[in-house]
Amino acid sequence: MFLIFLGGFWFCLWQLMHRQTPENPGFATLPPLNEGQRPVTVVPEAPPPKSIVIDPGHGGEDPGTQGNGMFERQGTLPIGLALAKELRNRRYNVVLTRDTDSTLSLESRAKIANEPGRVCFVSIHLNYSDTPKSNGIETYYGWPKRWDVLKDLRQSRKLEPDQDILDHRSKLLAEAIHRSALASTRATDREVRNNPALLVLNSIRVPSVLVECGFVSNKSEAEKIQTAEYQENLARGIADGIEQYLNAASSNADYGIEIVNTKATGGKK
């Protein structure tokens, strides 16, 4: 009788040790750790860091426009590098589409900009005109976006059948950058413009702009663009605009987003 009782006691104890609960999901059934081993803790994968994409236009086999002995690619890269440095000094994460004089397709630039964690995209370019006196800065955004980008945007907002979306974020970013770049360089104001035909603007999901930083066809402006002082002033102004936009957007998840009722507007947006 005593042996039966002892056997029952050990059986109950074994069941208790191996009982699976939320607090003890079969812990006792795990194989023992070898000497020197530590328990493995599974940590959920962290989301990618938020980052600003800076795109020095052209490069490598694509020289861009030309004037006064200067190729566009010779100006866009140092301006882009100066802008990346300025933003990093302000503790922003920055991704450069290129940091050397290398060739990169427009599709590759857009792909980089559409990777997870991106918050905005700024493409740096230089201008040309048949009129040598033309000078100054003009800044572009693109709306409407390409159909697949619009589709993703609509789905992300879970719209009703009679609703549609207007995305003003790129325009707001362009205006902030343009205003600050003019203030830091005192360049001629050639306005903010919409050009939805540009691939690096219409195929990117995050707010995206293209800055024409000056004219290579204007002799004095071409010379100025190649100086470190002007590049740093320009970079500081563009960075100011990016920062102003991001500060405004950080406190409002719907900043620049407008939901419209297509039934009330007769389908017009």
pLDDT at residue 40 in the model: 59
Rounded Cα distance between 269 and 259, Å, is 10
pLDDT digits (tens, 9 = 90+) for 130-141: 999 999 999 999
Per the CB < 8 A criterion, the answer to whether 126 and 212 are in contact is yes
149: Cβ–Cβ under 8 A, 6 or more apart, which residues? 202, 203, 204, 205
- Where along the chain do its domains lie? 51-145+169-252
Q: Which fold has domain 51-145+169-252?
A: Aminopeptidase (3.40.630)
Q: Would the pLDDT of 149 be above 50?
A: yes
Gap between the Cα atoms of 144 and 194, Å rounded: 9
Out of 19-28, 73-82, 138-147, 234-243, which region has the weakest mean confidence (pLDDT)? 19-28
Residue pair 46/199 in contact (Cβ under 8 Å)? The answer is no
As a whole number of angstroms, the distance between CA 201 and CA 97 comes to 15
Mean pLDDT of 87-93: 98
Band of the pLDDT at 28, cuts 50, 70, 90?
A: very low
Distance of alpha carbon 204 from alpha carbon 217, whole angstroms: 30
- This prediction's pTM: 0.81
Where residue 9 falls among pLDDT bands split at 50, 70, 90? very low
pLDDT at 3 (0 to 100): 40
Q: pLDDT for 210-266, tens place per residue?
A: 999 999 999 999 999 999 999 999 999 999 999 999 999 999 989 999 999 987 655
Name residues whose C-beta falls within 8 Å of residue 65's C-beta, 6 or more positions apart in sequence.
71, 72, 126, 127, 128, 216, 217
- Return the higher-pLDDT residue of 11 and 81: 81
